[in-house]
């Protein structure tokens, strides 16, 4: 089995047992660590795992041609990804399988107006009930902020909204733009907590409808509205700009366009806050399975790819904060909730979809725990004096704004 030759050089920490299609058992690994046993059901799969593992592993789990005998899919992926991250470059899979991807990534990340909306619809226009089954009550589909290890998901997501708000230096009456406004939770929170006028932009029809319904239910339609519009087509001027979990959909080719637009939309004394997933290991490519099945056109950049575009856009870098394991904990909560509601998701879609989504959540969590993913928050302005010289203002804002929910838990239309 060709695959055995590769795994023998790759797996050092932990123990991986592979039962091949003929029933033979192969054991890899010699140091303490995670334990997993998988069964491969076809010869074809064995060849695909050798020649194209980054795509084949996820597809095999989805279609059932690879099954778990010991441990779950997270155990297997954390074992595999942990060994890849520490393997010599001559052994690791990335040099072998990333070369073509890196050459072609400009095409993979080409997200002009129109195509960007198609990519968003692929993920965010799924059944509304699906997201209710694993997100918090406010539908925050981005990294939570765990101030304490004992925080539950609801608390950590409320922490996140408050933490972001503390960096924006908000005052009543300011005009705020939320680029990639999701289901509206952050915009509603900022309007309620600080009295700002909010315009949210989304490319998802499902998010657009629910966000405006939520604003109406909260009695905030007079100063919170959500538009279905590409940020590049917006012509307003804003005192504050916030974007959470949207930058990953921009694409490296469009970073100049993105930050130039931030510059144009921001008032001279304005402040912007960009919150996004990034990578610590330098420029790379999106995993082909994630790109095909979960986030077409998506990419999590290295800061070395982001900062030059900020400089060229003549924006001042005010602050950078790196959140490391916060997203790993967020994904752990999401995955546990998803598994609890497996049968409900299966009723919405099918067993294959359930395995696809479980694989996505497990692989993402492992990426933050054992590989090089992180979250960055970048604070930007046009003027160097737009933000105080120390971070004390953040603690002052938090002290004056205790945690509150933008909406009551599980409002009408949300499932348990």
How are strands ordered across the β-sheet holding 224-228?
224-228, 197-202, 175-179, 238-244, 266-279, 373-381, 316-323
Task: Tell me how many degrees the CA angle 317-323-324 measures, rounded to the nearest 5.
Answer: 135
Spatial neighbors of 161 by CB under 8 A, at least 6 apart, are: 138, 140, 185, 186, 189, 190, 406
- Whether 317 is in a domain gets the answer yes
- Whether 104 is in a domain gets the answer no
**Count: domains in the chain:** 2
- Whether 249 is in a domain gets the answer yes
CATH number of residue 279's parent domain: 3.40.50.150
Do 171 and 51 reside in the same domain of the chain?
A: no
Tokens 């950049």 appear where?
A: 301
- Whether 107 is in a domain gets the answer no
Rounded (10°) angle between helices 53-63 and 43-51? 150
Do 34 and 67 reside in the same domain of the chain?
A: yes
Do 93 and 124 reside in the same domain of the chain?
A: no
Phi/psi for 182 (5° steps) reads 60, -135
Do 53 and 175 reside in the same domain of the chain?
A: no
Cα–Cα dist 179/45, whole Å? 42
Q: Quick check: 228 and 203 in contact, CB under 8 A?
A: yes
- Whether 365 is in a domain gets the answer yes
How are strands ordered across the β-sheet holding 31-40?
25-28, 13-19, 31-40, 66-70
Rounded (10°) angle between helices 326-340 and 351-369? 160
pTM above 0.85, yes or no: yes
- Whether 406 is in a domain gets the answer no
pLDDT of residue 126: 81
Do 14 and 162 reside in the same domain of the chain?
A: no
pLDDT of residue 111: 57
pLDDT of residue 116: 54
- Whether 291 is in a domain gets the answer yes
Do 88 and 132 reside in the same domain of the chain?
A: no
Do 125 and 239 reside in the same domain of the chain?
A: yes
CATH number of residue 93's parent domain: 3.30.1050
Do 90 and 180 reside in the same domain of the chain?
A: no
Do 269 and 327 reside in the same domain of the chain?
A: yes
The total of other beta-carbon atoms located within 10 Å of residue 189's CB is 24
Do 140 and 172 reside in the same domain of the chain?
A: yes
17 forms bridges with which residues in the sheet? 27, 37
pLDDT of residue 96: 41
Do 207 and 319 reside in the same domain of the chain?
A: yes
Range of the domain at 13: 2-97
Do 90 and 151 reside in the same domain of the chain?
A: no
Q: Quick check: 267 and 237 in contact, CB under 8 A?
A: yes
Tokens 């226009």 appear where?
A: 125
Spatial neighbors of 18 by CB under 8 A, at least 6 apart, are: 3, 4, 7, 25, 26, 27, 28, 37, 38, 39, 40
pLDDT digits (tens), the chain, 416 positions:
789 988 998 999 999 999 999 999 999 998 899 999 999 999 999 999 999 999 999 999 999 999 999 999 999 999 999 999 887 665 544 444 444 455 555 555 555 665 555 655 556 668 889 999 999 999 999 999 999 989 999 999 999 999 999 999 999 999 999 999 999 999 999 999 999 999 999 999 999 999 999 999 999 999 999 999 999 999 999 999 999 999 999 999 999 999 999 999 999 999 999 999 999 999 988 999 999 999 888 899 999 999 999 999 999 999 999 999 999 999 999 999 999 999 999 999 999 999 999 999 999 999 999 999 999 999 999 999 999 999 999 999 999 998 864 444 444 334 33
């Amino acid at each position: 089995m060709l695959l055995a030759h590769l795994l023998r050089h790759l797996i050092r920490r932990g123990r991986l047992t592979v039962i091949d299609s003929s029933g033979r058992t192969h054991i890899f690994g010699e140091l303490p660590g995670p334990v997993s046993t998988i069964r491969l059901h076809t010869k074809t799969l064995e060849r695909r795992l050798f020649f194209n593992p980054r795509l084949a592993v996820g597809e095999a789990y989805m279609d059932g041609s690879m099954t778990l005998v010991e441990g779950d899919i997270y155990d297997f992926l954390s074992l595999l990804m942990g060994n890849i991250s520490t393997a010599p470059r001559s052994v690791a899979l990335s040099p072998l399988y990333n070369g073509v991807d890196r050459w072609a990534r400009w095409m993979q990340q080409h997200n002009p107006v129109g195509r960007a909306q198609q990519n968003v619809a692929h993920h965010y226009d799924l059944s509304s009930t699906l997201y209710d089954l694993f997100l918090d009550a406010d539908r925050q589909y981005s990294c939570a902020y765990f101030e304490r290890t004992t925080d539950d998901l609801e608390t950590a997501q409320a922490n996140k909204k408050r933490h972001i708000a503390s960096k924006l230096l908000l005052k009543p009456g300011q005009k705020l733009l939320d680029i990639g406004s999701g289901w509206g939770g952050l915009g509603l929170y900022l309007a309620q907590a600080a009295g700002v006028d909010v315009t949210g932009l989304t490319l998802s029809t499902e998010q657009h409808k629910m966000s405006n319904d939520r604003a109406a239910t909260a009695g905030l339609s007079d100063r919170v509205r959500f538009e279905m519009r590409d940020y590049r087509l917006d012509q307003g001027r804003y005192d504050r700009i916030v974007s959470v979990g949207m930058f990953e959909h921009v694409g490296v080719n469009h970073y100049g366009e993105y930050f130039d637009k931030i510059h144009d939309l921001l008032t001279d004394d304005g402040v912007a806050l960009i919150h996004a997933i990034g990578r610590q290991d330098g420029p790379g490519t999106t995993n082909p399975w994630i790109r095909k099945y979960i986030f077409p056109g998506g990419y999590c950049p290295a800061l070395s790819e982001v900062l030059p575009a900020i400089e060229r856009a003549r924006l001042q870098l005010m602050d950078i904060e790196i959140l490391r394991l916060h997203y790993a904990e967020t994904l752990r909560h999401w995955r546990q909730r998803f598994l609890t509601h497996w049968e409900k998701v299966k009723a919405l879609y099918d067993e294959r979809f359930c395995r696809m989504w479980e694989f996505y959540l497990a692989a993402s969590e492992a990426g933050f725990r054992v590989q090089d993913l992180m979250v960055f928050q970048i604070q930007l302005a046009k003027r160097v004096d737009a933000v105080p010289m120390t971070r004390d203002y953040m603690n002052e804002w938090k002290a004056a704004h205790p945690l509150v929910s933008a909406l009551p838990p599980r409002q009408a239309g949300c499932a348990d």
